[in-house]
Structure 1
Amino acid sequence: MSFATQPATRVISLSPHMTELAYAAGLGDKLIAATDYSDYPKAALELERVANHRGIKLERIVALKPDLILAWKSGNPPREMAKLEQLGFNVVYSTSKALPAIADTIERLGQYADSPRQAQQAAKDYREKLAQLTQKYQNQEKVRYFYQISAAPMITVADGHWPTQVFQVCGGENIFATSKAPYPQVSQEQVVIRQPEIIFGTSHANTNVDIWQDWQGKIPAVDNRQVFTVNSDWLNRPTPRTLKAIKQVCDHLDTVRKQRRATQ
């Protein structure tokens, strides 16, 4: 999709992270509807809901007559999205697969704002902070980690798929990096075999020390009390708040490195 030649006036977001990016790009006052879980910034909570995890309200979206629809290529139903495109709606997709792409998307959305200045500044700030974090941690010792996305079934993520890029900045080494599936279902026994030094989960995954206690004495992460809950909105949504996720993950990995040095 090429950049807009005129500012958008009626914008609908069909992904929480695209809602957040729209505000960052200066489109907040143009948003008229969004998907469930669009909860940041607080202003997004006032928007009408036209989509959720079960699908999108196609008829309502058409009735609202948006001149710009923001969507997630791998997260929104392809059949309904194809229908919206066939009806002539301007749809911009998020395809963020790398950390720098967050800034690129903000700038892209900024082309639809009354002025691109806010988006340009937000992208500049993000790139500068990302560069600082990358430089700080690029030579750190590797730490073997397991990221638990969900508990039942237990799902993780292979390298090359969001949000492994966050862990890589911090020197994390994914124990399921080479899995053929992008988001493989795994067992606790498979985790034990790979001996992670640290385990990450989110509140949605119910990841805490308790569910791993049966493996006391068999997993370094459990033995050293390196099982942490991270903010899922920061980590799983490719937005400027990803920087907060990087800082959070890097701090936790540093605790492992400190423990290593203390025992050497």
Structure 2
Amino acid sequence: MRFLLLIVVLFPFTSAFAEQSQSVQRIISLSPHMTELAYSAGLGNKLIAASDYSDYPEQAKKLERVANYRGIKMERILTLKPDLILAWKGGNPSREMDRLQQLGIKIFYSNPTQLTDIADTIIKLGKFADDPSQSITAAATFRTQLAKIKARYQNKSPVRYFYQLSDSPMLTISDGNWPSPVFDICGGENIFATSTAAYPQVNQEQVVVRQPNVIFGSRHATSKENSPWLKWQGKLPAVDNHQLYQLNSDWLNRPTLRTLKAVKQVCQLLENARKTLPLL
């Protein structure tokens, strides 16, 4: 009797899921991280086009390109007749996105502000897949690994860091903006945390005043081998203690399952930096 009751209760949900997944067969992604998340959620067979730099996983490289840094190819998108468009809130031009929505195209927006949003987004995307099991498994694995990392580093002493997002102009991040959650979970203390701008433009003098113990950059910014910070020898603990690190920007700046690789990388580097801190 209980088994029959369970079937009756679950039947509407199962039917609703099947109806939603079948109604979406042609998907376009307008952001590299959304392309990656779509594959993680089991939507690879439904992707028909994507934005430039959608290069992971390998099969994503074969997708037609319908967007780049200059904008989106509106006419081509309409010709492809997508059932669903995956977009980055704030990263895609609002005027064009509003137009697509007015034309009746369903748009799924992503705007991650914390690490758990990655798993939540995969679960939501999985509702459009023919089989949601892949998204459920991927999200559960991500959450489990994230919980283990959090437990390991939550009581570690804070390490003051500076993340150089770009070189010219020199940009960084403030708290609550991606990828600050990656550094937070490892015990990083952002020297520009309270900036009113999401991605403030700063200069080297401002960094020196704040005395970071670690400086992170990417291949687009600074590196240990070729760094503009080396002239600050004797003025920055990060330079004096050789705590200048180049991070994998694809892992760090794209909120996807590979963000876990960025978390592990940052946590280990901050742990190295702790060994250089003076004893309290």
TM-score range normalised by the length of the shorter chain: over 0.9
How far apart in 1 are the matches of 2:115 and 2:107?
22
Q: Which residue of 2 aligns with 1:242?
A: 259
Q: Distance in 1 between matches of 2:37 and 2:158?
A: 31
8 Å Cα contact 1:148-1:207 kept in structure 2: no
1:16-27 matched pairs, under 5 angstroms: 16-27=32-43
Identity of matched residues, %: 61
> Aligned partners of 1:227, 1:144: CA distance in 2, in Å?
13
- Of residues 193, 205, 221, the one that matches 2:221 is 205
For residue 71 of structure 2, the aligned residue among 55, 76, 100 is 55
Q: 1:215 aligns with which of 232, 243, 259?
A: 232
3-state SS of paired residue (2:142): helix
Report Cα offsets for 1:14-36 as digits up to 9, x if no partner. 00000000000000111110000
Aligned residue number for residue 187 of structure 2: 171
The yes-or-no answer on 1:150 pairing with 2:166 is yes
Distance (Å, rounded) in 2 between the aligned partners of 1:217 and 1:139: 30
**What is the CA–CA distance in structure 1 between the aligned matches of 2:231 and 2:112, rounded to whole Å?**
38
For residue 70 of structure 1, the aligned residue among 86, 100, 118 is 86
1:6 aligns with 2:21: yes
Aligned amino acid, residue 23 of structure 1? Y
Shift of 1:206: 3.7
Unaligned runs of 5+ in 1: none
Q: Is the 8 A contact 2:214 2:270 kept in 1?
A: yes
Shift of 1:260: 2.9
Amino acid at match of 2:27: V
SS at match of 1:204: coil
Residue by residue, what CA displacement relative to the aligned partner does 1:127-156 show, whole Å, maximum 9, x if unpaired?
000101011100001000000000000000
Provide runs of 4+ in structure 1 moved above 4 Å: none
Distance across 1 between alignment mates of 2:218 and 2:121: 26
Match of 1:44 in 2: 60
Q: Which residue of 1 aligns with 2:8?
A: none
Unaligned runs of 5+ in 2: 1-15
Corresponding residue to 1:224 among 241, 244, 257: 241
3-state SS of the aligned residue for 1:243?
helix
Larger Rg: 2
- Distance in 1, Cα, partners of 2:152 & 2:227: 33
TM-score, with structure 2 as normaliser: 0.91
Please, what is the CA RMSD of the aligned residues?
1.5
Q: CA deviation at 1:9?
A: 1.1
2:164–2:222: 8 Å Cα contact kept in structure 1?
no
CA shift, 1:115, in A, is 1.1
